[in-house]
Structure 1
């Protein structure tokens, strides 16, 4: 395919890039740090820059772009945007991973090169250790002067190999690694340990390091403010001494993962270690002017020098766009929330799935408190933090396997679905490595897909949309693609336990979605959450957006740590507020706790007011 001259290139799929975005996009000779607030279009900027580099030959074939995000849905969203904006032969050279997926795929590919003492078997299992697990380990091995948090952080940061000599903490880390390898046929590795293994592997194998440098001259880093010490060290080990050019994007006002090991000074470290130029984006494409004004008040409390964003979205609603809703009891709170949402949905002001209820923590408890009242109003509340099998619903919906099989089921459940047809063809083209220019190969793929769709429609006509039919329908879609084909195509599925975890979650959620379905299309809508109000934690909401956001629990018991001197908690509050495109509300329940007065005082001058239950329902 012919390349585009850099001066002739134009944005793909959008009409406008702000001048600062153009500057950051064209910066290809040195690394750049793009600071961008909520709604600035960070993902779209990265997709445009990837398209620019591929289409102009600034990243020439066969070299690739490595993109690393923190969340699976963010990584997939970015990859899908590049696919929509670039020819297939170029888009295939854009590799989008989460940090964990990148490290795991690297380990699985080069496991044999890990030094003997730390080489895991091919059938290692993924562990998700809790604080209690670390505590029990310390007690069992009689390390009494160390707490669970210290051990967890030390395991995540220690460079391998770890000796038994030195401090008690160092000896505890060495003992922890031995314990995880204690059973040769049942090795347990956390993602933090996988990170350490990959850093060690790269450091000890110059030939692998050289291949990495040759493959990836361009590296994108999304949500860089949440980068951990270990992840940053892995990046430095992997790319120090190379000619790789980095583009990191993030917003330090959304740094809410310090508790999980994120670097408090990630931006400064990046500028120093990679010689990066900092460029700040100014537009907010998500929220309208009235919401952006309130967001800026919160942002200014976090960083007094922050620039005021330029709102680019239109206001589409009347009445309050931000308020604190005050209730006497939790029962009144649940009832009024349900009644208000039902009224808004009935008036066609908002779709149920474009409303999100955000909680600081314990989503399962809040689901129990709200469900009955919502059901009484004919609303369905979906707790995406809830597990189906061994995987959370929100994580499951970001899986490649789920997207591929869901498209096939959609084709079987409808008489015509061009979007799903085109997407399924692209899936087959990728999975079977058929060149887009191969007309014969493309015709064969279309013929195969047409035959499958006819058979799938016949199968679904014969199967009642009931839970007992879930396994057969799902298996029919999987058999068409082939489990082994999927496992070869996606590194995250190469180990059978990892594939089974997602496959079992897929069939389990399909079964749940069929419980009250009237049709297969209705069940698939249920599967994807259409017509349902999302319930999730703030941390899971990052990167998402909703028409209306309701934060459940702005009180001193739920958010006891929200104080003026704890910036990470204020960052969390900022993240919750900025998920909203049109409206953002907070609930305050006297039965649960007292107001966070200083936050109210901060927001009141910007137009946020307190609303009682009676006023809310009478509006």
Structure 2
């Protein structure tokens, strides 16, 4: 165990870290060291009470952020790390339901549906069961799913006696209630949950069995929550149910100026209600250890145009020395093709290391166009995107085989395994044949697959089936099966349809994820728990060190980059078309998007805009004028 060093904290950071009991809100601006403050507080609470047994709960929104926090805390706490639980909201709900979900019929080995296609299948059945509820004749699962998601984000648990007002314009939509109830029931009966249902069912458990919620509150009397401004209603309700006391030890880190997920249920008003309801002491961290003074000045000027902000909020202040070169530049172009071509040329002209540069845009279409322009110029690029499932045949085979081993009668996983095996080996195995073979193998679909696949296996595929049989089916050694499956690939040729770059990336991702999970759960967690953790995590491959990263503003949140090119600063781009057509609340959210984008910068910020995008004429973004920046002369 390493003793905590607090002298390097500034006065406000130290005040937050030293806070003992009662509720506190830390308003932390971009680059203010909030993660350090949160993790240091966790460590101080534990190191300062060596004779106590209570645990500290720390919640955040992404598995990457949780893993970073765990790494920092483990370094300082050593063996006493067991007293800290650092996880995401969904990770916490998964653990709770694995232990207590049996109260409403959920088994501990439940699976997590992270693909809309799988959710559509459940929803179609739910719509059929609620067929006499007045569902519009043209309604489809794809069209109804967004309404289901709204109800999930609203925390409605699907019990008829618990119907609450619908969180959207309700005339003619009362039919959604029986559909939603059927959807939740079918998820539980099928022993699987989607991400929204994880939180809803955890909340339902705490409401139906308040003693369980009280027990968690006793075990975790101190809670620390990161990025609270991003919570939706069900997450807020979950936290309040765990900590209903107005004097609870609830330590919340947030920044209302970075609330950019209103489409997912986040709201600046929710943060203010929390502060009022718990009468929270407020500490502000306005000092940015990331952004140059010129960028901080722009951010302050921009965000002042938002009316819906925390009262008496201190402006950002930069703790970074001014750059000897210009930290902020503005450029204008005739069209977006010229804009993005210039960005690529400018990176080369400034002799910048591509790996220190990022291109941001408000929408995915412009991000992809930027990556194409960089590639055309010979610069390596990486489009950052969310990826819930593996896509290469090798990793799909590995993942679906593990899932089928965990759920031996799962026909959907059998179909996925058959597809992956065919893509991997060019050998076709039909699910119907597997089901027939399984009758003679104790109704085990995995044994039936081995029998059917062995009958037509080429020489190269036999060692793959051997490790599937010996390591997974016979001995249930899933780690050895995974290791030997990857080793099989190294010894055997690839079929022509396989993208070797994608496979290499996903193998690296698999390795990173399994190391994270072992670090969190121990060297050999049960297969069901391992798979739940895999499903909770994104499968996005990391960029190479030499890549220019291209990503949307939403995906850039929580990150920082040396050199940022913010493209598309035009009306109906940033701000978006929807915000321009919407009201003041939508425009304030777009302004926060711009605020988040420019405060990713560590060294230089280049703002670009064009007179037309994809053939449509556009005016310069109002945000340029609000920041006091000239729209810029035409760049060549």
TM-score (norm 2): 0.69
Indicate if the aligned counterparts of 1:384 and 1:534 stay in contact, CA closer than 8 A: yes
Structure 1 residues 473, 463: CA separation in 2 closer, same or farther (over 3 Å shift)?
farther
1:217-265 deviations in Å (ceiling 9; x for gaps): 1101111111111111111112224974111011111111122111341
**Equivalence map 1:121-520=2 (5 Å):** 122-129=109-116, 142-144=134-136, 148=144, 150-160=147-157, 162-163=159-160, 172-179=176-183, 181-182=185-186, 186=190, 188-241=192-245, 244-302=248-306, 303=309, 305-316=312-323, 318-319=325-326, 321-344=327-350, 347=351, 350-362=352-364, 365-366=365-366, 368-385=368-385, 387=387, 389-390=389-390, 494-495=528-529, 497-498=531-532, 505=539
Alpha-carbon distance in 1 for matches of 2:26, 2:517:
40
SS of 2:302 mapped into structure 1: helix
Structure 1 residues 105, 289: CA separation in 2 closer, same or farther (over 3 Å shift)?
same
Structure 1 residues 569, 484: CA separation in 2 closer, same or farther (over 3 Å shift)?
closer
Structure 1 residues 459, 588: CA separation in 2 closer, same or farther (over 3 Å shift)?
same
1:296-330 deviations in Å (ceiling 9; x for gaps): 101222249542222111234513x2233211123
Alpha-carbon distance in 2 for matches of 1:485, 1:294:
41
SS of 2:546 mapped into structure 1: coil
The yes-or-no answer on 1:26 pairing with 2:32 is no
The yes-or-no answer on 1:47 pairing with 2:20 is no
Q: Which residue of 2 aligns with 1:93?
A: 83
Structure 1 residues 247, 484: CA separation in 2 closer, same or farther (over 3 Å shift)?
closer
1:34-53 deviations in Å (ceiling 9; x for gaps): 11111111111112212221
SS of 2:632 mapped into structure 1: strand
Alpha-carbon distance in 1 for matches of 2:237, 2:546:
43
Indicate if the aligned counterparts of 2:32 and 2:287 stay in contact, CA closer than 8 A: yes
Deviating more after overlay: 241-250 vs 164-173 = 164-173
Structure 1 residues 154, 477: CA separation in 2 closer, same or farther (over 3 Å shift)?
closer
Structure 1 residues 17, 326: CA separation in 2 closer, same or farther (over 3 Å shift)?
same
Deviating more after overlay: 59-68 vs 31-40 = 59-68
Alpha-carbon distance in 1 for matches of 2:258, 2:506:
44
Q: Which residue of 1 aligns with 2:596?
A: 575
Task: Report how far residue 471 of structure 1 moved.
Answer: 10
Indicate if the aligned counterparts of 2:360 and 2:367 stay in contact, CA closer than 8 A: no
Alpha-carbon distance in 2 for matches of 1:254, 1:60:
39
Query: How many residue pairs end up in the alignment?
Result: 508
Structure 1 residues 235, 386: CA separation in 2 closer, same or farther (over 3 Å shift)?
closer
Alpha-carbon distance in 2 for matches of 1:482, 1:589:
43
Task: Report how far residue 27 of structure 1 moved.
Answer: 1.8
SS of 1:556 mapped into structure 2: coil
SS of 1:87 mapped into structure 2: helix
Indicate if the aligned counterparts of 1:127 and 1:188 stay in contact, CA closer than 8 A: no
Alpha-carbon distance in 2 for matches of 1:601, 1:37:
23
Task: Report how far residue 531 of structure 1 moved.
Answer: 0.7
SS of 1:494 mapped into structure 2: helix
Alpha-carbon distance in 2 for matches of 1:170, 1:144:
11
Q: Which residue of 1 aligns with 2:632?
A: 610
Indicate if the aligned counterparts of 2:288 and 2:318 stay in contact, CA closer than 8 A: yes
The yes-or-no answer on 1:108 pairing with 2:90 is no
Alpha-carbon distance in 1 for matches of 2:632, 2:589:
25
Alpha-carbon distance in 1 for matches of 2:47, 2:175:
52
Structure 1 residues 277, 572: CA separation in 2 closer, same or farther (over 3 Å shift)?
same
1:404-430 deviations in Å (ceiling 9; x for gaps): xxxxxxxxxxxxxxxxxxxxxxxxxxx
Indicate if the aligned counterparts of 2:111 and 2:191 stay in contact, CA closer than 8 A: yes
Q: Which residue of 1 aligns with 2:561?
A: 546
Indicate if the aligned counterparts of 2:301 and 2:627 stay in contact, CA closer than 8 A: yes
Indicate if the aligned counterparts of 2:56 and 2:222 stay in contact, CA closer than 8 A: yes
The yes-or-no answer on 1:67 pairing with 2:64 is no
Indicate if the aligned counterparts of 2:90 and 2:195 stay in contact, CA closer than 8 A: yes
Structure 1 residues 110, 384: CA separation in 2 closer, same or farther (over 3 Å shift)?
same
Indicate if the aligned counterparts of 1:355 and 1:547 stay in contact, CA closer than 8 A: yes
Alpha-carbon distance in 1 for matches of 2:391, 2:51:
38
Indicate if the aligned counterparts of 2:571 and 2:622 stay in contact, CA closer than 8 A: no
SS of 2:160 mapped into structure 1: coil
Structure 1 residues 26, 160: CA separation in 2 closer, same or farther (over 3 Å shift)?
same
SS of 1:296 mapped into structure 2: helix
SS of 2:627 mapped into structure 1: helix
Structure 1 residues 494, 550: CA separation in 2 closer, same or farther (over 3 Å shift)?
farther
Q: Which residue of 1 aligns with 2:577?
A: 560
SS of 1:613 mapped into structure 2: coil
Indicate if the aligned counterparts of 1:322 and 1:609 stay in contact, CA closer than 8 A: no
Alpha-carbon distance in 2 for matches of 1:476, 1:100:
20
Alpha-carbon distance in 2 for matches of 1:360, 1:196:
31
Alpha-carbon distance in 2 for matches of 1:468, 1:556:
36
Which of 550, 554, 570 pairs up with 1:535? 550
Segments of structure 1 that go 5 or more residues without pairing to the other structure are 393-457, 510-526, 615-619
Indicate if the aligned counterparts of 1:35 and 1:280 stay in contact, CA closer than 8 A: yes
Indicate if the aligned counterparts of 2:571 and 2:621 stay in contact, CA closer than 8 A: no
Please report the RMSD computed on the Cα atoms of aligned residues, expressed in angstroms.
4.3
1:434-453 deviations in Å (ceiling 9; x for gaps): xxxxxxxxxxxxxxxxxxxx
Indicate if the aligned counterparts of 1:391 and 1:505 stay in contact, CA closer than 8 A: no
Structure 1 residues 549, 334: CA separation in 2 closer, same or farther (over 3 Å shift)?
same
Indicate if the aligned counterparts of 2:610 and 2:620 stay in contact, CA closer than 8 A: no
Structure 1 residues 488, 352: CA separation in 2 closer, same or farther (over 3 Å shift)?
same
SS of 1:92 mapped into structure 2: helix
Task: Report how far residue 382 of structure 1 moved.
Answer: 0.3
Task: Report how far residue 609 of structure 1 moved.
Answer: 5.7
Alpha-carbon distance in 1 for matches of 2:325, 2:516:
51
Q: Which residue of 1 aligns with 2:72?
A: 81
Q: Which residue of 2 aligns with 1:445?
A: none
